[in-house]
Structure 1
Amino acid sequence: MSPQVAGLSQGVKWQLADPTDEVLVGRVQPARQFRVRAALAEGPKRAVDLFGALFTREIGSDLLSFATREALATLNHLQLRGQVVADQDVSGVNWYRLDVRQLLAG
């Protein structure tokens, strides 16, 4: 596959891959993981609620899709590590929270 997919750079392409792919998931930055966990320590949040923890600039409609994929990639990584749990509400929205079992064990 070419390094460009629908005009997206290689850096974005990995986030669209299967989150169980260890090589790709390994690219999630530890600093981002820390900031997301710190935000989730305040209480459950949706992926879009974590933009402030992940990005230094305001996310407008032009970057909403990219930013959401970025947040979901980080959350998926943390879920695979057993640090985050997703609970779906009656509207089908996932609310992410720290896994209490992980906190008690650590």
Structure 2
Amino acid sequence: MCYAALPFSFVVRADGRLNKCTVALDDERNQVGRLAPDGSLHLDQDRLRPWLVDNALTDTGCQSCALRPACQGAACPLDRMNTGERPCPDAKRDFKAYLPLLLAGRQEVSVTQ
């Protein structure tokens, strides 16, 4: 799951602007609010909403996916906004490359315990 999809995860810029994503700092859609000098948050709900869409509840592909518990349909909100398609995690797109890494990590845990 991408940190930008989490409702209380923000990037605070030096000038007080609030972003959701550290990758798209110059993207206007990423500017979702402002931190006021008194510390209060001023959020633009219309700009915030696309970052928080829960594909796991609305997308039938996500609902039937074995990786749903890991990504919760929110692998990368920016990808979804750019392409209009569900963002699947790298592990799903290239599972054959990830499986040996997962197994190696599990073996390391067993050896150290």
Q: Shorter-chain TM-score category?
A: under 0.3
Larger Rg: 2
* TM-score of the superposed pair, with normalisation by structure 2: 0.26
- Pick 1 or 2: higher relative contact order, CA cutoff 8 A, min separation 6: 1
